[in-house]
Structure 1
Amino acid sequence: MTSVTLNAARPASGDDWMTIRQQRTSNALSQAHDDGLTSFEVVSREGKILTLADGSSCVEFISCSYLGLEAHPALVDAARQAMERIGIHLSASRGAMSPVYLRQLENLLSDIYAGASVTVFTSTSNAHLGVLPLLGSGKMTGYPTRGSVRWLVDRTAHASMQVLRGVMSQFGAVQRVDTHDIDALRRHLAECASDQVTPVLLVDGVGSMSGLLPVLELSALLEAAGGYLYIDDAHGISITGRHGAGYAFENLGHRLPPNTLLAGSLSKAFGGAGGFIVLNAGYDTTQLRSLANPLVFGHTISVPLQAANVAAAQLHLSSDITALQRALWTNVRRFDQKVEQQMLNASLQAPIRGALFATEKQGSDAARAFRRAGFIVFPVFYPIVETGKAMLRCAISAVHTGEQIDSLAHQINAQPNRTEA
């Protein structure tokens, strides 16, 4: 999720962001843990009904697997067969050896992304860590820079990018920007031109709790300024777009502009595990494999999950993905129609909704009421929301039943202290 603290400019006191976060963070989350309102231990599940370690059962609206693919028989069977053939993992970097599924997966992802070059990492965070330093160095093949780069980090960009500011600053200055203020963004780009540096704008496509960004317009702005747009669309992958290519790629017209880099997740709606980077067709991936630290020094995704990723990619290239997307958006529309007071992200093409509360206590009390009613959602506090406030994050899936959607909406409507988004 997006971090408020990481976005803040470093204060005059010189305190680092971790110290600031510690100073501003209350005990609300730890208290929610102690009260059994989060950190649930799952024993088994059937659809969206979980059996927890305390013996209780509940309907969950927490998982980021928005299409329910993680329990699809094709993925489960593929993982089981791979484990029987090779084992749990090969315990080696991909430069040393990798299961055959890795090459298959990257080829299938290239098909999903209209022939673009795709490299798989163990996580989206590791994709950022591997690609951004290479881009910032000016030595990335096909992505030249003039002078140094200037990183323009959107205020709602995911924490996995925000936390790399210290790494990015080795290659150029880092500035916080608000991409919703296009006029201000244009001024930042004009300053980059005046200073003869290359702007690199870092954004989310579908934010975990921050709505959607007009990535096509942003890509064009950066192209005109001689810069690059770097998109983390982890939450947008699979839920929309041809072959489940995601919100950002769909918004770009199902083509990757030469100045745009797209990072995605295999661990959310895709149904498997890991992350990936989409680059221009023809990019020499041996450069990443030889220079990106997570690929040079880290292990590959475990074998059964790689095989599950391949099965998921094959489903994405079939008609099955369209039916799952349709089911997801039917549930999202149903939920929006049933909720009486507008929630965060309401009416947007995003599967996440947020119920806001003016105080942490009100949010915790609401989470407690949900738990008693047999539902679990994710209560979040600072730094996800403003200091002293709270939000219940509700993730809607294609595999929720209509009755479950209606019951959640009824429970939200029953909360007396919710504030308007």
Structure 2
Amino acid sequence: MMTAYAPSHLLPLVERRIGKTARAGLMMQTADDTEYFGRQVQIGGQVLLNFGGCSYLGLEQRPELNDAAVRAIRRYGTQFSYSRAYLQSALYLQLESALEAMTGGFPLVAPSTTLAHMAALPVLVQPEDAVLVDVFTHASVKMATCLLDGMPVATVPHFDIDRLDQKLARLACKHRRVWLLLDGLYSMYGDFAPVSDLAALMEKYPALHLYVDDAHSTSWFGKHGRGWILEQFSDRRRVIVALSLNKAFAAGGGAIVFPSAEMRTSVRLCGGPMLFSGPVPPPMLGAAVASADLHLRSDFSDLQTQLTDRIDLVLSLARQLDIRFVAEDRSPMFFVPCGELEAMFHFAQGLRSRGIYTCPGGFPAVPKGQEGIRFTVSINNTEMDIRHLMESIAIERKALNDRARETPSKRLKDPPSARAAAYARAR
């Protein structure tokens, strides 16, 4: 049996390792009840520079979004308590119309990206189809594959295009369609899907269809913030993309962008969560409409440029300070490998002592024994903040290497060359 993260027999291991990370004070924490503006976060009385959030453009404090949320509450109340199968708020139509202008596709709003996957995949994938899932695809997509009763579902190595080609060659002659499930931007390592390789495979195999969770590149990348995949693929007839209305979009819910109105209608009418899950509350719908309107403004790209300037600063400082990331794509997410779990604890706690909040990256989000520190940047971070972060990482990396030299069996290793080559293809 598969869960969203791992086979069920591994759940005790997952519980032990996440529990250990929580006891180390690095997970399952609660922010102090203080005002929050994005640049800093307060935990247990300690004010930390925030390099762990996913609001890459800092839109959650924009007055346009806040005022729209308040107006929606005053007009509709805190909830519009109907199943969307019976009656929907007028804000849904406004939002989907704006998302259509943003993406150039046929969007369908869902209560969350996770529920969007659970609504779409059981409708899209038919009994005569086969499914391949990139091993690092987001857990929410893997969870949805558990609903594909009796259908062949197999994982493929991350960005191993040759292996993927071999699997497609075997499956494409046996199945009407082969669905490849993947992320547009991978949330742990910050690496983009290799669009040119995927496009070549789609040309080679007409049966190949892509289903992409592009939650982490929504808003900050592409024209009107439509994300990596929608920006890169000009021919989307066999491409379906899920976007997040949380994260950089700074509202609530998710959306799936279909290549046709007919496909959207099928999921709207038959996708389980579209019929029985609760609706997006009016304040979040109002904020989402305001956010979409902001995305469509001619000056929205200025916000995107502010973020890419900060990304470029991180990459430049990494080269100067000899800091190695697992991937060096031009995205707002970075992963510093540490090795074993305890080494990651030392690294993260060292950064906390220097006033920096980052996220631990451990099993099952990454392979066991390849734990590390994941950090993000946003336009809330100043140049001084980023310089302090990178200098602190360099200091903690040296301390980690010094400890590793004292225990040769636990010496920190760089990512395997095969994976590095795969990331190079993705870039």
- TM-score bracket for this pair, using the shorter chain length: 0.7 to 0.9
Segment of structure 1 superposing worse, 177-186 or 274-283: 177-186
Instruction: Tell me the CA shift for residue 37 of structure 1.
Output: 2.7
Q: Which runs of 5+ in 1 are unaligned?
A: 9-16, 139-147
Give the 3-state SS of the residue equivalent to 2:217 in structure 1.
coil
- Separation in 2, partners of 1:345, 1:88: 43
- For 1:143, the equivalent position in structure 2 comes to none
The code of the aligned residue for 1:312 comes to S
TM-score by length of 1: 0.88
- Separation in 2, partners of 1:196, 1:390: 38
Instruction: Tell me the CA shift for residue 354 of structure 1.
Output: 1.0
- For 1:344, the equivalent position in structure 2 comes to 325
Give the 3-state SS of the residue equivalent to 1:404 in structure 2.
helix
- For 2:252, the equivalent position in structure 1 comes to 273
Instruction: Tell me the CA shift for residue 223 of structure 1.
Output: 5.0
- For 2:111, the equivalent position in structure 1 comes to 122
After TM superposition, the structure 1 = structure 2 runs for residues 372-411 of structure 1, keeping only pairs within 5 Å, are 372-411=353-392
* Shift in alpha-carbon separation, 1:135–1:223, aligned structure 2, 3 A: farther
- Check whether the contact 2:348–2:373 (CA below 8 A) recurs between aligned residues: yes
- For 1:11, the equivalent position in structure 2 comes to none
The code of the aligned residue for 1:153 comes to V
The code of the aligned residue for 1:270 comes to F
Q: Which of residues 41, 51, 67 is equivalent to 1:50?
A: 41
The code of the aligned residue for 1:317 comes to L
- Separation in 1, partners of 2:240, 2:330: 22
After TM superposition, the structure 1 = structure 2 runs for residues 209-228 of structure 1, keeping only pairs within 5 Å, are 209-210=188-189, 211-225=191-205, 226-228=207-209
- Check whether the contact 1:59–1:376 (CA below 8 A) recurs between aligned residues: yes
Q: Which has the higher helix share?
A: 2
Residue 81, structure 1, aligned to residue 62, structure 2: no
Residue 357, structure 1, aligned to residue 348, structure 2: no
- Separation in 1, partners of 2:137, 2:203: 20
- For 1:158, the equivalent position in structure 2 comes to 138
- For 1:326, the equivalent position in structure 2 comes to 305
- Check whether the contact 2:183–2:213 (CA below 8 A) recurs between aligned residues: yes
Instruction: Tell me the CA shift for residue 166 of structure 1.
Output: 2.7
Give the 3-state SS of the residue equivalent to 1:201 in structure 2.
strand
Query: In percent, how many aligned pairs have the same letter?
Result: 30
The code of the aligned residue for 1:239 comes to W
Residue 198, structure 1, aligned to residue 183, structure 2: no
Q: Which of residues 258, 261, 270 is equivalent to 1:291?
A: 270
Segment of structure 1 superposing worse, 260-269 or 174-183: 174-183
- For 2:422, the equivalent position in structure 1 comes to none
Q: How many residues align?
A: 395
- Separation in 2, partners of 1:308, 1:120: 14
Residue 103, structure 1, aligned to residue 103, structure 2: no
Instruction: Tell me the CA shift for residue 346 of structure 1.
Output: 4.7
- Separation in 2, partners of 1:284, 1:25: 37
After TM superposition, the structure 1 = structure 2 runs for residues 210-249 of structure 1, keeping only pairs within 5 Å, are 210=189, 211-225=191-205, 226-249=207-230
- For 1:142, the equivalent position in structure 2 comes to none
* Shift in alpha-carbon separation, 1:66–1:119, aligned structure 2, 3 A: same
- For 1:413, the equivalent position in structure 2 comes to 394
The code of the aligned residue for 2:100 comes to S
- Check whether the contact 2:219–2:248 (CA below 8 A) recurs between aligned residues: yes
- For 2:419, the equivalent position in structure 1 comes to none
- For 2:294, the equivalent position in structure 1 comes to 315
Give the 3-state SS of the residue equivalent to 1:269 in structure 2.
helix
Q: Which of residues 16, 22, 26 is equivalent to 1:37?
A: 26
Give the 3-state SS of the residue equivalent to 2:117 in structure 1.
helix
Segment of structure 1 superposing worse, 36-45 or 311-320: 36-45
- Check whether the contact 2:188–2:361 (CA below 8 A) recurs between aligned residues: no
Instruction: Tell me the CA shift for residue 219 of structure 1.
Output: 4.0
- Separation in 1, partners of 2:15, 2:80: 42
- Separation in 2, partners of 1:246, 1:325: 11
TM-score by length of 2: 0.87
Residue 66, structure 1, aligned to residue 45, structure 2: no
Q: Which runs of 5+ in 2 are unaligned?
A: 402-411, 416-427
Give the 3-state SS of the residue equivalent to 1:218 in structure 2.
helix
- Check whether the contact 2:121–2:145 (CA below 8 A) recurs between aligned residues: no
The code of the aligned residue for 2:40 comes to I
* Shift in alpha-carbon separation, 1:286–1:385, aligned structure 2, 3 A: closer
- For 1:167, the equivalent position in structure 2 comes to 147
Instruction: Tell me the CA shift for residue 26 of structure 1.
Output: 6.7
